Structure 1
Amino acid sequence: MRLLYTFSFVALILVKSNGFLVKGPSGPLVVRLGSSVVLPCYVDEPLPLKGLKVIWIRTDVNTLVHVYQDYESRPDAQYQDYHDRAHFFTDKIIHGNFSLRLENVRAEDKGFYRCKVYTEQESDESLVQIKEVEHLSVLGSDHPVSASVGEDVTLNCSVDSHIPPEHIQEVSWRKIDEDENILVFENKKTLLVDERYRDRVEFFTDEIPKGNFSLRLKSVRTEDQGVYICHANAGNFSASATAEVEQLGYSVLHIIVFILCIIASASAVVLTTLWYQFHRLQRPNAALLLQISSVFVPNLIMFFAFWFWGVIEGFLSETVACCAHYFLRPLLLLWVSPHSEHFPGNRKTAIHCIVHLQYSLFTNVVYSVLFQSFWEESLSYEQSDRVLITILFAIMILICIINIVFLLAELIRNKDGRMRAALDLVSDIGHDVLPPLQLIFLFYAFGTASGALFIVGVFPLFLTLTRYNWKNACVKTLEPLRSFRRAAWLCFMIVVNTIMVYSYLIALKKEKDCEGWVCVAAFLQVLWGIVVLKHSFGDLDLPFRHIVHLIGSVVVVLVNSFALMTELILKMVNGERAIEDLRKVVFSSECIFASFVLLLIIFEPFIKKFQQRFQNPARRSQQNPSSQNEVVSDETPHNPSNQNQTAAQSFELRPMLETEEQEAGRDRDGGDAA
């Protein structure tokens, strides 16, 4: 009997030693809404499949989740909510892995799950908890949004989550065909990323605590047409939704821009034609009035056209540059106009200062816009760099303001004095140091400090010494060779301006609108060349003023108005800008015109000599017409109408010859003054 008890005890120990331990996860599980999760349940050693049975039960609601029995899973035994969502890893069961894969997790799946494993001898179990189901879903607009250009639209984006909005890491908006974000909500702050949407996009701040991250897009443009993505991030989870803007049409402002371009082109042609007719009829007062009208009217109309264009389509730097240019452009045209010599009183002398005034004013505008762009990007700069760049900008603006004050004083009251001499000296020095200061500012603000240090060390010394050496030494040494001096000066300015424009390209190469800024810089440098040329050679005479006026007041306006109308039409048809930046057209054409003016001034001595060769034979024939009259009298009978015609022609020719003689006399006086 004792032997039987001993045998039974040993058998019980052996059976117990062959038992198994079911293991589960080390802690509760956190699952993302809509994702899949594995509920761990396994043993260290494989169990025999004969008589093996695995049951998964939802304990808190007493629901059967899944069953494995008789060598196969039994989906027919599942509770309905888990059909096609709960699966065994059937091929892993033979290795002792009884884990369950639960797909498309729902919020109601949160709770306790028990894994029971049975063999023929014994059983064991483990408990798994889904502690949290983090759900993050983003809902957008179901239907496309239709709007006319200039209207405001709302792109819906609702972040549905149990996570408080202040705990959402990021919500961003962008166009589907672009990589850069438009507007971002991050760390409880709203950040504008794309400058094209400045002052045009915003969140509904009061709605953010409710999970409403809809985007308000104001003053819709044709380029805004397309699909937008609202993307939300919270922890390891993210979700997106889309909204679409379609069917954009013409607005009243588009029609206004189109009409203004047509009026500008028509007024340029009509006023110039009328001026030419009154000039031929020798009516100087009417011709002068029409001349001034052809200078101001078309350009001011184009100023308003670009201003309205900026409101509906253009971006800030493009709009400001083009508007400022067309507002100041009449100054250059007034300087090169054929009737500039007819201004009364001191205006005849003071009118030569206005191109300096245009350069100073336009420089202020351009670098104010550049400084604003720098300031918006300067958060990553060191404080010392920001202070240095601000000081450089202030010095440039101060120099320009001094130039403007001096020039306005010269225009209003042309008198000598100590104050005028001091302002003249500062203005003269300012024209020399301003370009290198501009490059230093650009390299520090947008490029590299090493490039700025190179400009500091080399370029100002080279430019200033060469400039004053040119003015003081070369003018005296090469006085008899005016043409040679001007040709050498042209080569020098080509080298300097090429260096300047290339430096602009290097400094601004990281900017999106680099090409537009380079075109602005090229025109600014040509304008600077005209200013420096006037400082070096004194009063200058411009040949072919009628042709220059025709090109500047008509051809350039026609080119730019046509470019603006073409851009307007193509944007409405294609939804995208064709030229991308109108500064490429506006300032390229203006640079060509200003360069043409500069070349005519430089080669004015050559042109005068060339004209004199053809005028001298004509003058000799007019001084000694007896031989021609004798031949005519022998062959042609006397006709009074012929005499009247000849007299009319000589009447028309006489003012032109007198004007040319006056210009030649001014040229000689200007050469002596230089």
Structure 2
Amino acid sequence: MGFSICVYLSGLFLSCSGLHVLGPTDPLTVRLGGSLMLPCSTETLIPLEELEVEWMRTDSESLVHLFQDGEIRPESQNQAYSGRASFFTEEIKHGNFSLLLTNITTEDAGVYNCSVYRQDESAQTSVQIKEIERLTVTGGHVISAKADEAVTLNCSVDSHIPPEEMEEVSWKKVDQDILVLMFQDGEVKTESAHGSYMGRVEFFSLDEISKGNFSLRLKDLRTEDKGLYMCEVLSGEFSANATVEVQQLGFSSMHIGVLVLCILAFVFAVFLSYHARTYLIKKYYGRTALSVQCVFVISPNVAMFLAFILWGVIEGFFTETATCSALNLLRIVFLFWTAPYLNTFQDNVCRFIKRSAVTLEYAVITTVAYSGLLLDFWHLYQETQEWIIIIFLVLFTTLLLVLYIIIFAQGFTKMKSRTLNYLLAALTNVFRGLVVVFSYGRNLATVIIVILQFLPLVLLVFLFFCSSRIRKMKIYVFLLMSVLITEVLNTPISVYVHDTVLESNKERVGLICVTVFLHILTVMLLFHVLVLIFEKLLSRSDLNTVRTEESQSDVMVYIFGTVALVCVNSIALAAELILKARNGERTVEDLQVILIPSECVFALCCLTLHITTFCRRYRVILLYALSICGCKRTSVERNHELEAFQSTEAASAAQETGT
């Protein structure tokens, strides 16, 4: 049996007859629930038949134990010590009358007298249990509450150590091993709280803490707060803990609001899709039709925008909710940009959408999605004071600022520069990669890989400044294709950089999806520049021969963007909300993993539509251009196409002459 070994100095107590009883001179301490030996012995041996030993509490006159007439008398001891106080039986004949006290309680503190009797002689010694060392933590219970409410997680500490002198009292979320709040070195360490609990947790007043009350106040309860919490106390060799479970988190009014908005968005998108598609197929763009189209585009996306804003307020995922809400709001402009009825809008509105839709989405998504990285980059500069960091930070933010100025200048003035839009977006891509590399993993090879993204810019600049010296159409077309291909190859480069450098970042997967989407938008901007360059190569007569062919593909892409994307967003958010309320933890760590890939599919459909439209529109001219590029082999189909083109033009000319 483990018990505390007390090293004691002998104190001599003399009786009038000279009987010596030895005991400790210093008070004893013991841990609560432990065992303690109360020393008592004599220098001379006493025959057992002449011996009587009595252990007595002085404050309550309670008989702790008795040895009399050569026997131990357990029936005589007080019930409070029954089974807990015992002699060392084999040691009594050797003059050792020490008492073993087990299962120490706080009531055991006090003074104990060991009285030894031999015929007419007697002597005694006193043993004081001054302090019961203890550390007990209580408060374990189960809490049921609704989201947005405030709850109290009880934790009471009882110890011989004053609360303000305890080394550490901490609250942790057990299932995720998250530090919620800590009391250390006599003060509350609010900065120790995990980001998801920052500003939502607090201890009670210092007066309550001095009483041992370390209960935790958890405000603005979220569905992710569901789980097991531990109040752990550490002080020297002592440690104790108690657990509190938070369960059955019901929906708050804001949660219900999010679900209602998701349902409304889904219903609006599905219900209005039939009428919108009917009007588009019939090419009816009257007042009623345009009103339906505007409601069809605006209402579901605004509903999802508000739903994500509310979800962000409830759950506190700033970057994720900001990106998702921005996607839904910007999709309105993007959908109008793809809409077949865009030219029916007012001139200034139509001009803004045509010139700024893609660039605006690129700029806003970049700003929102990478705001967290920019903040980390700024903190890194404050720690290291490296000039290269501030240069990249200034250049990156300046590029974004200039991009915003160009967007609104082109949208509301006569300024028009597709090339500038692409150049700013491409430069932003490069500096965005450099910010990621210098923030989380500086490596020369990675830096070189990021710098390789300048290649399409170099080719495009070469194409602009050396176009007058290029005499062969084949070389010009080759350069145009090279610029497009190198820009497309920048996408896997950027994905590799993000995947490698952000390996330990919790937003890694979401940012990879974002960078793919941004590169698709960049390719769209570049394609518009290349189309402009191609059109400048053609003569006026060539452009006059171009015919615009009607297609139903733009209608399908438009319907896909308005219905499918809204449905994906609403179902994903509603499912995540319900599952999180039930499980207490997120099913999908980042909703950007679902939303942005679907947005990428839509953007790729738009890009494919523009490429196929371009190829259909300039099909004959492209075939003719290929025929003069020095190609030795020309298919029979191409010859027939050219002959048909020439005969059509001759017939058109004759008809105009007759007229």
2:509 to 502, 515, 528: 515
- Deviation of residue 403 (structure 1)? 0.9
* TM-fit CA distance, 1:234: 3.2
Partner of 2:298: 296
What's the offset of the Cα at 1:404?
Answer: 0.2
Query: Residue 597 of structure 2 corresponds to which residue in structure 1?
Result: 588
Alpha-carbon offset, residue 558 of structure 1:
1.1
How far did residue 521 of structure 1 move?
3.3
Q: CA deviation at 1:462?
A: 2.1
Q: Which residue of 1 aligns with 2:137?
A: 138
User: Taking structure 1 as reference, are residues 538 and 78 closer, same or farther at Cα in structure 2, changes over 3 Å only?
Assistant: farther
- Check conservation: 1:36, 1:101, Cα contact below 8 A: no
Mapped contact 2:319–2:371 kept (Cα < 8 A): no
Partner of 2:453: 463
Alignment match, 1:230: 231
1:359 aligns with 2:349: no
Other structure's SS at 1:232 match: strand
Q: Figure out how many residues of one structure are paired with residues of the other and give that number.
A: 586
1:432 paired residue number = 426
8 Å CA contact 2:110, 2:128 repeated in 1: yes
User: Shift in Å at residue 411 of structure 1?
Assistant: 0.9
Match of 1:641 in 2: none
Q: Which amino acid aligns with 1:200?
A: R
Aligned to 2:200: 200
Q: What residue is the counterpart of 1:306 in the other structure?
A: 308
Partner of residue 338 from structure 2, selected from 318, 336, 339: 336
Provide the secondary structure at the position in 2 that maps to 1:503: helix
CA contact (8 A) 2:136 2:158 kept: yes
User: What one-letter code is carried by the residue in structure 1 that aligns with 2:568?
Assistant: V
Distance across 1 between alignment mates of 2:323 and 2:254 = 20
Shift of residue 472, structure 1, vs aligned partner? 2.0
1:564 has 2:573 as partner: yes
Equivalent pair of 2:277/2:559 in contact (CA under 8 Å): no
Whether 1:472 and 2:462 are equivalent positions in the alignment is yes
User: Any stretches of 5+ residues in structure 2 without a counterpart?
Assistant: 1-18, 536-547, 624-636, 649-659
Aligned to 2:178: 180
Between 1:47-56 and 1:296-305, the stretch displaced more is 47-56
1:122-161 matches, cutoff 5 A? 129-140=128-139, 144-161=142-159
Deviates more, 1:472-481 or 1:561-570: 472-481
CA distance in 1, matches of 2:599, 2:152: 41
Q: Find the aligned partners of 2:476 and 2:555 in 1 and give their Cα distance.
A: 25
Give distance in 1, aligned partners of 2:70 and 2:509.
Answer: 73
Cα separation, 2, equivalents of 1:393 and 1:608: 43
Say whether residues 1:405 and 2:405 are aligned partners.
yes
Contact 1:36–1:103, Cα closer than 8 Å, also in 2: yes
Q: Does 1:76 align with 2:75?
A: yes
Provide the C-alpha distance between the structure 2 equivalents of 1:124 and 1:394, rounded to a whole number of angstroms. Answer: 89
Shift of 1:36: 0.5
SS in 1 for 2:172: strand
In the TM superposition, residue 412 of structure 1 has moved relative to its aligned partner by: 1.0
Map Cα deviations across residues 345-374 of structure 1 (whole Å, 9 max, x no partner).
466554232211221122112222334567
Aligned to 1:181, the other structure's residue is in SS state: strand
Matches within 5 A, 1:7-406: 28-32=27-31, 34-39=32-37, 41=39, 58=57, 64-66=63-65, 74-88=73-87, 100-113=99-112, 129-140=128-139, 144-161=142-159, 163-187=161-185, 188-189=187-188, 190-205=190-205, 207-286=208-287, 287-313=289-315, 315-345=317-347, 350=352, 351-372=354-375, 383-384=383-384, 392-406=392-406
SS at match of 2:243: strand
AA at the equivalent of 1:208: I
Match of 1:671 in 2: none
> Do 2:34 and 2:103's aligned partners in 1 also have CA atoms closer than 8 Å?
yes
Contact 1:89 1:99 in 2 (8 A): yes
Q: Distance in 2 between matches of 1:535 and 1:49?
A: 115
Cα offsets for 1:147-189 (capped at 9, x unmatched): 2333332222233445443223322223343322223233312
Deviation at 1:47, TM superposition (A): 8.6
Shift of 1:109: 2.8
String of CA shifts for 1:17-71, please: whole Å, max 9, x gaps.
xx9996869x654434x33143364999999997788765556766554456788
TM-score by length of 2: 0.74
Q: Deviations over 1:408-431 (max 9, x none)?
A: 111111248xxx99xx86x66543
C-alpha distance in structure 2 between counterparts of 1:164 and 1:239, whole Å: 15
Q: 1:83 to 1:586 in 2, by over 3 A?
A: same
- Residue 303 of structure 1: CA displacement? 0.3
Q: CA RMSD in A?
A: 4.6
Is residue 35–residue 105 contact of structure 1 (8 Å, CA) maintained in 2? yes
Structure 2 residue identity aligned to 1:219: D
Alpha-carbon separation, structure 1, partners of 2:88 and 2:115: 16
Greater shift in the superposed pair: 345-354 or 44-53: 44-53
Q: Cα–Cα, structure 1 residues 147 and 398, in superposed 2: closer, same or farther, change >3 Å?
A: same
Asked if the contact 1:486–1:602 (Cα under 8 Å) also holds between the matched residues in 2, the reply is no
SS in 1 for 2:157: strand
Render the CA deviation track for 1:311-340: whole Å, top value 9, x for unaligned.
334633322221122222223323333233
Question: Could you say if the C-alpha distance between residues 226 and 428 of structure 1 is closer, same or farther in structure 2, counting changes exceeding 3 Å?
Answer: closer
**Cα pair distance change 1:20/1:218, threshold 3 Å:** same
Q: 1:534–1:540: 8 Å Cα contact kept in structure 2?
A: no
- The aligned amino acid for 1:435 is N
* Local SS of the residue matching 2:587: coil
Query: In structure 2, do the counterparts of structure 1 residues 150 and 129 end up closer, same or farther at CA, with 3 Å as the change threshold?
Result: same
1:200–1:217: 8 Å Cα contact kept in structure 2? yes
Aligned to 2:606: 597
AA aligned to 1:103 is T
- Among all aligned residue pairs of Structure 1 and Structure 2, give the percentage whose two residues are the same amino acid: 37
* Cα distance change on mapping 1:83 and 1:520 into 2, 3 Å: farther
Residue pair 1:571, 1:578 contacting (<8 A) in 2 also: yes
* Pair 254,129 (structure 1): closer, same or farther in 2 beyond 3 Å: same
Q: The residue matched to 1:434 in structure 2 has which SS?
A: helix
In 1: Cα distance, 2:338 partner to 2:173 partner:
48
1:272–1:251 distance in 2 versus 1, CA, 3 Å: same
Give the secondary-structure state (helix, strand or coil) at the position aligned to 1:182.
Answer: strand
- Equivalent-residue separation in structure 2 for 1:43 and 1:167 (angstroms): 38
For 1:383 and 1:319, how far apart are their aligned partners in 2?
29
Equivalents in 2 of 1:46, 1:486: separation in Å?
Answer: 113
When structure 1 is superposed on structure 2, of 274-283 and 396-405 the one drifting more is 274-283
Aligned equivalents of 2:612, 2:40: Cα separation in 1? 96
Q: Deviations over 1:536-565 (max 9, x none)?
A: 554899983222212212111111112222
CA distance in 1, matches of 2:430, 2:87: 75
TM-score by length of 1: 0.72
Judged with a 3 Å threshold, the aligned counterparts in structure 2 of structure 1 residues 87 and 558 are, in CA distance, closer, same or farther, namely: same
Deviation string 1:554-580 (CA, Å, 9 cap, x unpaired) is: 111111112222223334444444334
Answer yes or no: is the 8 Å Cα contact 1:294–1:553 preserved in 2.
yes
CA distance in 2, matches of 1:97, 1:50: 12
